[in-house]
């Protein structure tokens, strides 16, 4: 259903900054990627989203198009990112219908929870194929068009640059995440892939960056991978910002990365998680975050500590 602008885009961005630009997005029918594309469309872009489910992808394209009157949003279903042929056909259709590709979002992903003891080789390969191979196939299919667009609108000489790609990753591999061996390996590869695109295509005018979302509320991923909260329970209190993220947080980061403001940002990983990965080491220990700090409690029960004179509250 159509969304209010406040749900997917901040007010700081000027309308029309992406006028006549075209974004190609895999995973575009998902909660996060659809918000990213919706924000770009609102600001003047046209778009092509692809996905495996025909009805869902076509329906989401029509919904995204409501973000701006007169926008063009293609929804191409039956596209499997694991198939280079499938993606090449989708890219060809996008260019034929919309004329070009200025921006690319490689966002298709698959995930589930499983310990290694219960993770089959085939299941591991499936996530690698979708997340990592799919990201490579997306980049491979789009890069010739991104290079062409970058030549027409070079970053250093225009306020409406083209030739940019964003890979959607995660923070799972920063410190390791239980039950996520498959996704950890895949997303680490995605980060490395983006760096290689930066190194090899930067001289041709391309910028390649990663956005790594933290826990984003109201998304299909969180619905599948997170336990239902009990009344009064707040499992996200360990996030320094004190909340889960929203799709708008990721959409805003995307607008920044594709805008004139990020002209000199290349080969970077932009973590959008409220500082969550910084405190992963505190969760589940004897000194619960953030209560331990807020209450000014003393460190007790461990060896090698001098007896404290008293804690100090934050």
Query: Active-site positions?
Result: 169, 187
The DSSP bridge partners found for residue 39 are none
**Measured distance CA(25)–CA(74) in Å, rounded:** 10
Given strand 22-26, what is the order of strands in its sheet? 73-76, 46-50, 22-26, 103-106, 164-168, 207-213, 269-272
> Where does residue 244 fall: left (phi above 0), alpha (psi -120 to 50 degrees), or beta otherwise?
beta
Q: Round to whole Å and give the CA distance between 223 and 90.
A: 29
How is the chain split among helix, strand and coil, in percent rounded to 5?
Answer: 45, 10, 45
Peptide bond into 290 cis (omega under 30): yes
Q: Which residues contact 236 (CB under 8 A, 6 or more apart)?
A: 215, 242, 243, 244, 276
């Amino acid at each position: 259903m159509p969304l209010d602008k406040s749900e997917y885009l901040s007010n700081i961005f000027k309308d029309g900054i992406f006028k006549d630009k075209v974004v190609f997005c895999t995973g575009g029918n998902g909660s996060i990627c659809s918000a990213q594309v919706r924000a770009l469309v609102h600001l003047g872009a046209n778009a092509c989203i692809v996905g495996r489910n025909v009805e869902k992808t076509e329906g989401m394209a029509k919904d995204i198009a409501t973000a701006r009157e007169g926008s063009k949003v293609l929804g191409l279903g039956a596209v499997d990112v694991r198939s280079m042929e499938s993606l090449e056909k989708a890219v060809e259709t996008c260019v034929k219908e919309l004329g070009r590709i200025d921006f690319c979002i490689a966002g298709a992903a698959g995930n589930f929870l499983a310990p290694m003891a219960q993770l089959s080789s085939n299941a591991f390969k499936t996530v690698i194929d979708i997340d990592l191979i799919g990201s490579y196939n997306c980049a491979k299919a789009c890069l010739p068009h991104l290079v062409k667009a970058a030549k027409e609108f070079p970053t250093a000489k225009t306020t409406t640059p083209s030739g940019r790609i964003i890979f959607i990753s995660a923070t799972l591999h920063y410190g390791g995440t239980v039950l996520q061996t498959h996704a950890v390996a895949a997303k680490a590869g995605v980060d490395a892939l983006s760096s290689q695109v930066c190194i090899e295509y930067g001289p041709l005018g391309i910028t390649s960056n990663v956005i790594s979302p933290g826990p984003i509320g109201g998304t299909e991923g969180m619905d599948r991978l997170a336990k239902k909260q009990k009344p009064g329970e707040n499992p996200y209190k360990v996030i320094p910002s004190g909340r889960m993220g929203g799709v708008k947080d990721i959409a805003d980061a995307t607008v920044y990365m594709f805008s004139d403001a990020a002209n000199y940002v290349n080969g970077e990983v932009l973590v959008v998680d409220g500082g969550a990965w910084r405190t992963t080491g505190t969760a589940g220990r004897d000194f619960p975050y953030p209560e331990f700090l807020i209450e000014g409690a003393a460190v007790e029960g461990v060896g090698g500590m001098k007896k404290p004179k008293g804690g100090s509250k934050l």
